[in-house]
Structure 1
């Protein structure tokens, strides 16, 4: 019997990491003598697209050359790693919902575009790493989402098969990853884009983790 598997994105899906991510980007500008460029609330959506996206946005606002992105990205990762869980929290109901999936026999894993080492660190600090049978980060494989390969690896390492799996995420990257892998996408609506993610036409929307079990049963049985 094929093991049904649910794979989760991390930032903006399992945990609200936006404040710590924005702080890391602002630290890059601060060491150049600049005031905070990004706002933890207004720019939360950009934060969930990663460090380079935040630096690119900040450079654009300041009229700085895009070379800044490559120059500051290593420092952003270093600073973020040292301050990774100052404000980050799991979304309400996430832990209980995942524990429910495990109790029901589903395989559970993480597929994120956060570097693997940082993802391991964050999930461990939040006390939830043991819930996930697999963790694929941006640098685990030669490619990252929206390529299907990281998703496929996360399913297989969790003991599942792609044809009996789904991806829970929050951005267009997750939507495109699910489409590339030929699996349903369940997008959360409690991120900065709210129900605006409906325009991505996912197979399901998740307003709260209380509804996860029902949506998973509907989409993959």
Structure 2
């Protein structure tokens, strides 16, 4: 068992990753990266559909690296990524939710969890201010009791500290919590804290997440309240 072992019973908590778990943000993320390549004079280097998994799984720096490799960038790629990353963030902030959509059933599942007394929060590797901006743009900020981003703490996922903070700031107990995500980063984070890992099959990675052997594969959000009850026990206190 991980760090959650030995804690007393308390309020149950369900913590969500954001990109690729709550919402499909890939199109807007790719557009932000392409804005950087357009600024370099080479045009779009990424496809919002074919490169969705890279956008959500590896984030801004991963997208920049892929695009620079595709254009056979001759200079220092790491230095160019560092130079372009602030431009990517600005482009994303300026048009954060044009194509982003919430996955079917999420709002209903979150409402059911809250009605049953669960703490509900977010633990994402998106910068906190962008996570908050996106939630506001999607009109779902009120769903969550806490939001922890990549820069909220000195460390980020897969370090367990952000997940622990999300649980505790939401009012939950790490002994009665789980993480819903869509990548190896989420799975590793849950394992590091010793909480159940629930991975969605409808994110950009599809059913490939099955290879990670999570505690549950979530096919649709309709099933989440039942899954949470099974993995975390009876009603919240």
| Interval of TM-score (by shorter of Structure 1 and Structure 2) | over 0.9
Other-structure match for 1:211? 223
Other-structure match for 1:8? 16
**1:168 pairs with 2:180:** yes
Deviation at 1:84, TM superposition (A): 0.1
Distance 1:202 1:157 in 2: 25
Other-structure match for 2:4? none
Q: How many residues align?
A: 221
Deviation at 1:129, TM superposition (A): 0.4
**1:140 pairs with 2:152:** yes
Other-structure match for 2:49? 41
Other-structure match for 2:3? none
Distance 1:74 1:15 in 2: 23
Distance 1:215 1:91 in 2: 17
Other-structure match for 2:94? 82
Note the alpha carbon deviations across 1:61-116, whole angstroms, 9 max, x for none: 12223122111000000010000010111101101110010001110000000000
Distance 1:120 1:208 in 2: 24
Distance 1:22 1:46 in 2: 9
Higher mean Cα deviation, 187-196 or 13-22? 187-196
Please list every run of 5 or more consecutive structure 1 residues that lacks an aligned counterpart in the other structure.
none
CA RMSD of aligned residues (A): 0.8
Other-structure match for 2:39? 31
Q: How does 1:174-213 map to 2 (within 5 A)?
A: 174-213=186-225
Note the alpha carbon deviations across 1:154-175, whole angstroms, 9 max, x for none: 0000111111100000000001
Distance 2:155 2:61 in 1: 16
Distance 1:41 1:104 in 2: 37
Deviation at 1:219, TM superposition (A): 1.2
Which one of the candidate residues 105, 123, 132 is aligned to 1:93? 105
Distance 1:108 1:149 in 2: 17
**1:21 pairs with 2:33:** no
Distance 1:191 1:141 in 2: 26
Distance 2:129 2:64 in 1: 21
Please list every run of 5 or more consecutive structure 2 residues that lacks an aligned counterpart in the other structure.
1-8
Distance 2:55 2:230 in 1: 31
Other-structure match for 2:5? none
Deviation at 1:37, TM superposition (A): 0.6
Higher relative contact order by CA 8 Å / sep ≥ 6: 1 or 2? Answer: 2
Give the secondary-structure state (helix, strand or coil) at the position aligned to 1:50: helix
Q: TM-score, normalised by structure 2?
A: 0.92
